[in-house]
């Protein structure tokens, strides 16, 4: 199942309460919204009490990406892709667009199964309603009811005038809290700069549904590296691995090679876990990116609510990974109703020798998610580049 713990508390309630959605084929955008520029730390904790005991967050950037009105006002996921023209696209999971007043939203607000946020010089535009009102940004071909089958975002990349987004195809396999299942991953190709859908294609991997390719993607010029998270044991002490495949842009839909520990092979069954990561259960969603002359893998520990964010570095995109560092300890875990998951790096955002990192926050209390919307919004902070790549 992908992902597992991070969504189940809220998904069951939302599955029962939300109304049927519509099939989609094109994307509608909300008007771009210029946000004010409050000083860092300026969020009013009286309206957003979940921030009360948290220090060191960039609340200025958070309020731009997730404002109180005019765009996505609550979500998780929070992958990002740097576009060739300097814009960035944030890929969000379950999302709300309803206005927020005094830190609260209406219980009747519609939930989208996925959404895109287009960021352009402190302006944000929500991309939703791909085929009519209340439909998501991306919908699996032929699907007419997003309660039964839907997309949650993986990662992606942009090259020249094309954007490629890996979307994980999910379905309700069984009733109840643990009934969500992963079917496969599709690649959605869009034209740029208009972000118009061109095609939807299933990935060529045909192996176990316990292996989820597209959870991290790195375009490294000659090859595109596509990473998979694998749940070995999804219990209270989780064990997970990470695999890697590679391909070229002309074979993205047809032929991948898999790393077998020493070389690359067309046989997916020969893929082995990347070395150096076994001490940390890799999260359902993670990042691999270039920083200075190193490859960096960033993950939040999948141990439920551990709050630990780690980085590893390597000289090669397939590892071996070394220089394990816990770069941040999430503070929201002090609130018993909150849980956090799937930290992400956004290396296209840099300032003063630092890069931007995010993590998702969620709430086991559905009503509190509406009473205090900050309990279902990502957090952002900055980390020194040298802290990651320095040995």
Tens digit of pLDDT for each residue in 103-118?
A: 999 999 999 999 999 9
pLDDT more than 70, % of the chain: 85
What is the spatial distance between Cα 275 and Cα 12, in angstroms, rounded to a whole number? 36
- Residue 232: how many other CB atoms lie within 10 Å: 11
Give the position of tokens 């379950």. 94
Write out pLDDT tens, residues 218-231: 999 999 999 999 98
Q: Is the pLDDT of residue 7 over 50?
A: no
For residue 29, the model assigns a pLDDT of 54
Confidence of residue 54 (pLDDT cuts 50, 70, 90): low
pLDDT confidence of 50, banded at 50, 70, 90?
Answer: low
CA distance 191 to 116: 15
Cα angle: 33, vertex 342, 65; to 5 degrees: 10
What's the pLDDT band for 176 if we cut at 50, 70, 90?
Answer: low
Task: Say how far apart CA 95 and CA 40 lie, in whole Å.
Answer: 24
Could you write out the DSSP letters of every residue in 148-176?
A: TEEEEEEEEEEETTEEEEEEEEEEE-SSS
389 band by pLDDT with thresholds 50, 70 and 90: very high
Q: How far is CA 137 from CA 76, 94, 111, 263, 329, in A?
A: 14, 11, 12, 38, 32
Peptide bond into 3 cis (omega under 30): yes
Percent helix, strand, coil in the chain, to 5, is: 10, 45, 45
Q: Under DSSP, is residue 376 helix (H, G, I), strand (E, B) or coil?
A: helix
Q: What CATH topology corresponds to 5-389? A: Tachylectin-2; Chain A (2.115.10)
**Cβ neighbours, 10 Å, residue 160:** 8
In angstroms, the CA 300 to CA 379 distance is 13
Q: 271: pLDDT confidence band, cut at 50, 70 and 90? A: very high
Q: Max Cα separation, the chain? A: 56
State pLDDT tens for residues 278-293: 999 999 999 999 999 9
pTM over cut 0.95: no
Neighbours of 198 (CB within 10 A): 11
- Residue 99, token pair as written in the block: 């206005």
Q: Is the pLDDT of residue 64 over 90?
A: yes
């Amino acid at each position: 199942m992908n992902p597992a713990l991070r969504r189940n508390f809220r998904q069951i309630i939302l599955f029962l309460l939300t109304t049927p959605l519509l099939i989609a084929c094109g994307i509608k955008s909300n008007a771009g919204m210029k946000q004010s520029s409050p000083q860092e730390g300026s969020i009013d904790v009286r309206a957003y009490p979940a921030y009360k005991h948290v220090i060191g967050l960039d609340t200025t950037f958070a309020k731009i990406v997730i404002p109180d009105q005019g765009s996505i006002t609550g979500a998780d996921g929070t992958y990002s892709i740097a576009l060739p023209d300097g814009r960035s696209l944030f890929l969000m999971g379950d999302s709300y667009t309803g206005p927020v007043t005094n830190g609260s939203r209406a219980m009747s607000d519609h939930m989208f199964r996925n959404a895109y946020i287009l960021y352009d010089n402190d302006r944000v535009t929500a991309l939703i309603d791909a085929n009519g009102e209340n439909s998501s940004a991306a919908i699996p071909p032929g699907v007419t009811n997003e309660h039964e089958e839907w997309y949650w975002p993986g990662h992606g990349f942009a090259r020249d005038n094309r954007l490629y987004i890996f979307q994980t195809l999910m379905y309700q396999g069984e009733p109840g809290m643990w009934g969500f299942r992963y079917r496969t991953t599709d690649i959605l190709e869009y034209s740029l700069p208009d972000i118009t859908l061109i095609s939807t294609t299933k990935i060529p991997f045909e192996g176990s549904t316990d292996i989820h390719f597209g959870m991290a993607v790195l375009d490294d010029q000659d090859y595109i590296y596509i990473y998979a998270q694998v749940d070995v044991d999804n219990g209270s002490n989780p064990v997970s691995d990470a695999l890697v495949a590679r391909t070229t842009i002309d074979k993205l839909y047809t032929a991948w090679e898999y790393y077998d520990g020493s070389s690359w092979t067309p046989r997916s069954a020969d893929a082995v876990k990347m070395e150096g990561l076994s001490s940390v259960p890799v999260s359902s969603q993670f990042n691999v990116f270039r920083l200075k002359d190193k490859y960096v893998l960033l993950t939040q520990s999948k141990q439920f609510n551990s709050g630990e964010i780690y980085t590893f570095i390597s000289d090669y995109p397939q590892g071996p990974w070394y220089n394990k560092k816990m770069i941040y300890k999430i503070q929201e875990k002090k609130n018993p109703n909150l849980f956090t998951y799937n930290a992400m790096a956004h290396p296209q955002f840099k300032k003063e020798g630092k890069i931007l990192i995010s993590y998702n926050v969620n709430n086991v209390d559905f009503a509190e998610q509406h009473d205090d919307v900050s309990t279902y919004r990502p957090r952002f902070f900055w980390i020194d580049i040298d802290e990651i790549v320095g040995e």
